[in-house]
Amino acid sequence: MLIKVKRGWELPESAATPEDIYLNRRQIVKALGIAPAIAASASVLPAGMAMAVTTDKDPSVRLYPVPRNEKFTLDRPITAESDATSYNNFSEFGSHKQISHAAQQLQIRPWNIIIDGMVEKEFEIGVDDLLKQVKLEERLYRHRCVEAWAMAVPWSGFQMSELVKLAKPLSGAKYIAMQTILASKREMPGLRQFWYPWPYQEGLTMEEANNELAFLVTGMYGKPVRPQNGAPIRLAVPWKYGFKSIKSVIRFTFTDEKPKTFWEALQPAEYGFWANVNPEVDHPRWSQASEWLLGGPQSERVPTQLYNGYTEFVAHIYPPDASDIYFR
């Protein structure tokens, strides 16, 4: 049995895209009839096999692809899937862009989400049960990292307002604080960076969370979202810099206090709570006037758009004279 596994790995690396490798490993696990629990044991299979097993165990795989909501259009080509899934920011796995391999160690099932704070009744729900209660759709969204790279991704998921409805917030709730899973340092080696204020946390006002654009992502490119992109559930708020779009969320807390966010705690002068994309407000260390598209050269710049091009959806939320550094 194990000899067959080895043969699968002998695919010439040059002939295999990451997708091919992934499918190949899945098929091997299936063909051998190895129970995922056994296959997941590192002592039985070569390192990296866990990649296939993690995704193979994803019970949401049958839900995709989902119908596209045509309301959300792009002014640029969709980023190649291979770029969007191999150039990532996910500090829990390391402070560099090549974390996609390490992220396959993240155990994405079982995955319980806690809804607590100022709600009628606090509860916990498994992500697959949550998926049964919402309308899944695909949306093409731009994504703009504060570091000035940008991409365009077909996300699948559901409007965040649906989660708010399920949560039944009390009338006094003004914000939603969100938290990323704090897994073991073996699963998330980036947690060894002890100077970071773990866990990763983010927050939105209730008005922002209920905005039509605020989207909870559970899939991408017609498949379940990958661990490196924030499986099994992450946020997409495309009018804000990418760090607001928190990954691998386990908790939504409704509160009347402005949440402390990870980057704000670390460097308040550089990363504010609002973080609305604004070409006229430079980062203290670089210009935000232009951006480059993932897959292309960094030297090829396109102009940054106010609210990342989503003014019609969100401008009414923000007072025009606000003074916050990313605020307008």
Ligand X SMILES: Nc1nc2c(c(=O)[nH]1)N[C@H]1C(S)=C(S)[C@@H](COP(=O)(O)O)O[C@H]1N2
Query: Which residues of this protein are in contact with ligand X, per CB under 6 A?
Result: 88-92, 145, 180, 200, 229-230, 242-243, 245-248
- Cα 7 to the chain's mean position, in Å? 34
Q: How far is CA 295 from CA 29, 58, 71, 81, 101, in A?
A: 32, 28, 25, 10, 19
Is 288 near Mo ion (CB under 5 A)? no
Sole window of 53-61, 157-165, 239-247, 320-328 interacting with Mo ion (rule: CB under 5 A): 239-247
Query: Which residues have CB under 8 Å from 271's CB, separation 6+?
Result: 146, 241, 243, 261, 263, 264
90 binds, among Mo ion, ligand X, none (CB under 5 to 8 A by kind): ligand X
Is 145 near Mo ion (CB under 5 A)? yes
CA distance 294 to 283: 20
304 binds, among ligand X, Mo ion, none (CB under 5 to 8 A by kind): none
- Of 45 and 187, nearer to ligand X (C-beta) is 187
Size of the site for Mo ion (CB under 5 A): 4
CA distance 43 to 120: 47
- Of 66 and 145, nearer to Mo ion (C-beta) is 145
- Give the nearest distance from C-beta 318 to ligand X in angstroms: 21
105 binds, among ligand X, Mo ion, none (CB under 5 to 8 A by kind): none
- Give the nearest distance from C-beta 158 to ligand X in angstroms: 18
78 binds, among Mo ion, ligand X, none (CB under 5 to 8 A by kind): none
Show the site string, 70-89: x = touches Mo ion by CB under 5 A, - = not. Answer: -------------------x
Binding test (CB under 5 A) with Mo ion, winner from 169, 190, 242, 272 = 242
Show the site string, 159-188: x = touches Mo ion by CB under 5 A, - = not. Answer: ------------------------------
Pick from 260, 209, 201, 261: nearest CA to 236: 209
Asked if 162 and 168 count as a contact pair (C-beta separation under 8 A), the reply is no
One-letter amino acid of 162: E
Pick from 297, 286, 293: nearest CA to 308: 293
Per-residue exposure over 294-309, b if at least 16 CB sit within 10 Å of its own CB, e if not: bbbeeeeeeebbbbbb
180 binds, among Mo ion, ligand X, none (CB under 5 to 8 A by kind): ligand X
224 binds, among Mo ion, ligand X, none (CB under 5 to 8 A by kind): none
- Give the nearest distance from C-beta 147 to ligand X in angstroms: 7
Is 232 near Mo ion (CB under 5 A)? no
Is 238 near Mo ion (CB under 5 A)? no
Strand partners, 112: 126
- Give the nearest distance from C-beta 285 to ligand X in angstroms: 15
Total Cβ atoms within 10 A of residue 172:
9
Q: How far is CA 257 from CA 7, 173, 176, 189, 296, in A?
A: 56, 8, 9, 31, 41
CA distance 79 to 98: 17
Q: 3-class DSSP state for residue 126? A: strand
118 binds, among Mo ion, ligand X, none (CB under 5 to 8 A by kind): none
The residue ranges that bind Mo ion (CB under 5 A) are 89, 145, 242-243
